[in-house]
Structure 1
C-alpha cells in the first residue's frame, strides 16, 4: 500500500502521539472531502473498502472494534513500536498555508499537539477543529494569533497563552503551497510497505557480533532467515526451553533419537538423525566430516569457498538444511511421520535449488550447474 497526500489527509497520525483510531478518523473525514472538499491523492484499497478504508458506513464511524484497514494499521503500528521503530512519530506534517492542518489537533509545531501541550487554553477555544490558516495570521515576518475564546483567558490559561503566542511567532508558513504529510524515513517522503519491511528486517535480523556476518541471505525466504536468527539466539521451542518456562512435559529427551536432552544444538546438529543428514550434505559438497557441534559456528561457516557467491550459496544450503531438519522434527512430533535421512537429503537439495533458482539474478541456472 502506498499513500500519497497533498494535504492533511495522509496515512500518518500527526507524528505527535495521536496514533489512535480517533485521529485517523479525523484524517479520513478530510480525505473524504467533507471538510471543504480539499484535493487529495490517496492510493490504497479503495476499490474494496472505499475512500474511508472501512471506517465509515452511511457517513457514520464504525466502532473501534470493527476490523478495517485503518484499525489494522493502528494495531500493526503498536507492534512495530515494540521493536524500537517509532512508527507513529515517523509521519511529519509539512506546513504550507495551514489550510488543511488542525491548529489544536495536529502535531505541526513543537513536536506534539497544541491541545495536549496547552490543555487549559484549548478548553476555551470556540472551534477546537479550526485550521492553522484560520487561527494564525502570517504577516510575512512572524505568525500572529487570531483568537476566538469562549471567555477571556486568565490565571494559568493566560500563562499558557503567552507561551503559545511566543511559539507560533516562530512558525514558518508557505502561503503558496498546500500542507502535506511526509514519511520521514523515506527519502522522497513517500510511505511504502517495502521500505518499512526492510526497516523491520534490519531491526529483527541485525548484524551479528560474530565476524561481522549478517543474519540475512537473499537466496532463502524470509521465514528461513527468521528461523536462523531464532536458532542462533537459542529461541526455538525445543523441549528443554519449554521445560524451563514451566510447561509440563512427559519428557525433555529428544523425540527423534531419545539419546539426550533436546537442546537447540542437539535438535539441529547432534541428534543422530540430524547428524546423518549433515554428513550427507557435507559429503555432497566434498567437505568431508561435520566439524561443528553448535549452530552459531555452523551458520557462519563459509564452506571453504573462495568467492563471495560461493560463500552465499553454501550458507543458503546450510540454512535450508537446518530449517528442513526442524520442519521434519515437527512433523515427527505432531503427525508421527517417520524419519528418513535419504528423503530428507533429497528434499533439502530440491528446496535449495528451487529457492536459489527463483532468487538468483542469473536466470540461466539449471539443476546441472
Structure 2
C-alpha cells in the first residue's frame, strides 16, 4: 500500500459525530450510513438546491421536534421518488443536538477514539485482504463492460461490492435500530443481506429458476452473489452469449432491487410471472439498443424458453 492509499483508508475510518450540525456538510460528510450521502445518492446530490448546506441548515426545529427540509432545483420526477424515499428513511432517525458541537469518531474503536494499535490492526487486516480483493476485481470490472443501462450496472456493482443499502448494511451503520426492520420483506423469515435478497431467498430462487428455464441453462444455487454472477455468466458457450447472460443477470438484479424498494416504500407487491415478463421485455429492448446478439429477433422468439439454443 502506498502513502496515498494509507491516507485514503484513514479518512474512510473517520465518521462525523453529529452535534448541532453546523459544521457537518449534509452531502459531503459521512455523518449517516457510513459514506457521504452524495456517494449514496449521486442523482439527488445533483438535484439539491444547496449542495454546500450543513445538516443544521437542512431542517428546522418545530415544537421540540426536528423537521427535515430538503430543497430541490426542480420537482422530483417519478423515477427519482424511490431514491428520495430511501434517503428520507435513512435520515429519519437522526437529528441535531442543540448546544453540542460536531466532532469526529474513529470507527475502529468502541469509544470512538483513535489509537496507534487500532490503526496498525486496520493496516494488517487490509494487507491480508489484498489477495481476496484482487480475485474479486475482475468480477466487478466485468460489470462495467456489460452492455446495460448505467443505473442497472451501478446497482449490480454495489451489490458485488456489498455497498447496497440492504438491512444488514444499514444496521452496521447504525441506521436501522428495530429488529423487525431488519427482516427480508420478500420472505419475512431471515435478515435481509445482499446474498439472501438476491440469491438464497425463496422468492429470489423462484425467480432465478424461471430465468434459467427461459435462457435454457442449468446451474447449481450458489450461496453468494459473486459466485452466482460468475456461474451464470459462464453458462454461455462463447463471448457474445456470455455478454448476453451478463446483461440479463444485471437486469434481474436491478429489477429485484427495484421491486424490493417498491414493496417497502410504496406497499406494492410483485408476482413472479409479471416479474419474468417485465425482465424479458426490458432485456429485449436493451439488446435492440446495444446489439449484443441478433437485434432482428422478434419479442415472441426472444421471450420463449431456451433462448440460448437459438443463438448458437
TM-score normalised by length of structure 1: 0.41
Larger of the two Rg values belongs to structure: 1
Q: Which protein has the bigger helix share?
A: 2
- Return the structure number with greater relative CO, CA threshold 8 A, min gap 6: 2
TM-score normalised by length of structure 2: 0.49
